[in-house]
Amino acid sequence: DGHSDSAIAQDLAQAKEQVGALEAKIGKLEGQLQRSKDDQEQVKQENEDLKQALEQMKVVKEVLEKSMSELREKFMEMRAKLEEKGVDVSVFDETLAETGIAAMINKVEVFERLYQQAFERKACREEKRRQRIKERQKKIQAEQSEKDARRKSRAVASLGVEGAVKAEASEGESSISGSETSDDL
């Protein structure tokens, strides 16, 4: 009995050690989990800050693009006015090129052209997508019509066999009744 008590005490001590080790491991994992949650929260906040900054930059970009477009229009208007007044606009054009203003104006034109091309490509892709959908619908309708035609053909064929049997039976009856009539005469 003393021997089994010491074995139980030894097992209990080992179990307590294992529980202690597991509790330490749980504590460590809980700490890691909390740090991960904190890191995740920090990343979420940084992401939100970046989203807000991006939205602000989009607004600034839009304002700048509009301003550049208006500036381009004003320079073109000024060029036209100078030309109307008989001024040699080649000097104006050279001055714009030398100061870099022409490049800025052309960037606006390039942006507008690229934007327009992108818009046209998107419209073309959309049209192709609509066309593919339309073709798929036609194909599905054709397949359905073909299935319906096969069903009708099978139905007619099965009715045709039954109809032929009925027709033969009714012809046989008429010939019998016809022969009775001729026999009666």
Domain-embedded: residue 151: yes
Label residue 104 exposed, middle or buried (CB < 10 Å: 0-12, 13-18, 19+). middle
Answer whether residue 182 is part of any domain: no
pLDDT over threshold 50, residue 183: no
Structural domain that includes position 75: 61-171
Across 70-92, average pLDDT: 91
- Is residue 149 very low, low, confident or very high in pLDDT (cuts 50, 70, 90)? confident
Looking at the 3D structure of the chain, how many domains does it have?
1
In a domain, 85, yes or no: yes
pLDDT band at 177 (very low <50, low <70, confident <90, very high): very low
CA pair distance 64, 66, nearest whole angstrom:
5
Say if 12 falls within a structural domain: no
Enumerate helices (H) and strands (E) in the chain, giving the number of each: 3, 0
Q: Is pLDDT at 19 greater than 60 in this prediction?
A: yes
Residue 128's identity, in one-letter code, is K
Task: State the average pLDDT over residues 35-45.
Answer: 92
